């Protein structure tokens, strides 16, 4: 299964089903299952900004108890859409859809970047320890 390493708190926001897009500077042709690996880095400053702080707090989470160095969820990568424009309340994607708050506050939708549309989130209550990598990588820790 393909996997992607994402720093915290964004990996947890995906695992909780709160973040529907992972934003990247690069596109991918991969579609289908994708393991979400929480990297070892935690952006503590981001954890204190809204709406991230209050979203994590609803689940009893802070920067001090986020899981790192493990696969925390399995998702379906449904599509990869380029951000093409901004407007008063959000961003416009290449298919004409809009990204509204709080979603656009959980990623970087600057025009030219890509939003990877995630669905069918399966949180793993017992995360699988794993060493992450840059880009998409192969993970064999869970067989469906």
pLDDT of res. 20 = 97
The alpha-helical segments, DSSP class H, found in 33-102 are 44-47, 52-57
Predicted confidence (pLDDT) at residue 17 exceeds the cutoff of 90: yes
Averaged over 83-97, what is the pLDDT?
A: 89
CA distance 90 to 71: 30
Helix (H, G, I), strand (E, B) or coil at 56: helix
Predicted confidence (pLDDT) at residue 138 exceeds the cutoff of 60: yes
pLDDT in tens, 108-136: 999 999 999 999 999 999 999 999 999 99
The alpha-helical segments, DSSP class H, found in the chain are 10-15, 44-47, 52-57
Which domains can be identified in the chain, with CATH numbers?
Answer: 2-81+114-138 (2.30.130.30)
Predicted confidence (pLDDT) at residue 3 exceeds the cutoff of 80: yes
């Amino acid at each position: 299964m393909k996997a992607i390493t994402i720093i915290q708190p964004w990996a947890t926001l995906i695992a909780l089903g709160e973040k529907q897009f992972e934003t990247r500077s690069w596109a991918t042709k991969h579609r289908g299952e994708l393991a979400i690996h929480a990297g070892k880095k935690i952006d503590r400053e981001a954890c204190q900004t809204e709406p991230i702080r209050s979203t994590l707090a609803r689940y009893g989470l802070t920067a001090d108890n986020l899981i790192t160095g493990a696969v925390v969820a399995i998702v379906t990568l449904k599509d990869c859409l380029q951000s093409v424009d901004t407007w008063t309340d959000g961003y416009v994607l290449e298919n004409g859809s809009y990204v509204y708050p709080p979603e656009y506050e959980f990623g970087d939708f600057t025009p030219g970047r890509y939003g990877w549309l995630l669905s069918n989130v399966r949180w793993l209550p017992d995360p699988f320890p794993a060493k992450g990598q840059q880009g998409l990588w192969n993970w064999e820790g869970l067989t469906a």
